[in-house]
């Protein structure tokens, strides 16, 4: 597969909107297409290119959602409204993810820490106050027993 055929960033899935949106914004800015999202650009060619990039950088289950949008701005806002929802249900789901946070058997510590910080960021985006100490407690509680000495220290 040619380098041109590969997505520039990881595709949007159900659990990576916070990082995906930052990277996707950077991709669109670097290609001079961000104006299609903000509504500053009315050039149909720019809008089509930006919309195509978004479609290429989402998982299959998002294709109908973004593919049916008539503009890049509509597609971006639809995804944003879905994943930055401030509903009680969304907050509850994220709180549950934080309290049930567990490190996977083969998961690197850095990836586990990044997951914890991502949940914190999503909760803050949803309007919840989540202190670093709270995240640290759940992070430490989710470490396997091999880390018990570190947790106690």
Is the same domain home to 101 and 35?
Answer: no
The string of pLDDT tens digits covering residues 78-93 is 999 888 777 788 889 8
pTM to 2 decimal places: 0.64
- Our count of domains for the chain comes to 2
Q: Average per-residue pLDDT in the chain?
A: 88
Residues 126 and 99 placed together within one structural domain of the fold: yes
- Choose the final residue of a domain: 26, 54, 83: 83
Domain finish residue from 50, 83, 116: 83
Domain C-terminal end among 53, 83, 113: 83
Per-residue model confidence as pLDDT tens digits over 25-46: 999 999 999 999 998 867 899 9
Domain match, 95 and 79 both: no
79 and 7 inside one domain: yes
Instruction: Return the closest-CA partner of residue 98 out of 73, 134, 59, 51.
Output: 134
Whether residue 115 is found in the same domain as residue 77: no
Judge if 50 and 94 occupy the same domain.
no
Domain membership of residue 28 as a residue range = 3-83
Task: Report the candidate in 136, 134, 133, 117 with the shortest Cα–Cα distance to residue 125.
Answer: 117
Q: How far apart are CA 62 and CA 98, in angstroms?
A: 25
Confidence of residue 5 (pLDDT cuts 50, 70, 90): low
Question: Within this chain, do residues 9 and 73 fall inside the same structural domain, yes or no?
Answer: yes
């Amino acid at each position: 597969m040619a380098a041109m055929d590969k997505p520039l960033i990881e595709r949007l899935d159900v659990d990576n909107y916070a990082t995906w949106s930052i990277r996707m914004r950077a991709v669109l800015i670097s290609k001079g297409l961000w104006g299609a999202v903000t509504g500053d650009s009315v050039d149909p060619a720019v809008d089509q290119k930006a919309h195509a990039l978004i479609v290429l950088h989402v998982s299959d289950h998002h294709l109908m959602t973004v593919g049916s949008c008539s503009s890049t701005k509509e597609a971006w806002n639809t995804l944003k409204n879905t994943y930055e929802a401030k509903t009680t249900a969304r907050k509850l789901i994220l709180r549950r993810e934080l309290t049930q946070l567990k490190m996977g058997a083969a998961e690197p510590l850095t990836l586990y820490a990044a997951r914890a910080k991502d949940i914190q960021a999503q909760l803050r985006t949803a309007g919840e106050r989540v202190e670093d100490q709270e995240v640290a407690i759940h992070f430490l509680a989710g470490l396997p027993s091999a880390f018990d000495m570190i947790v106690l220290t």
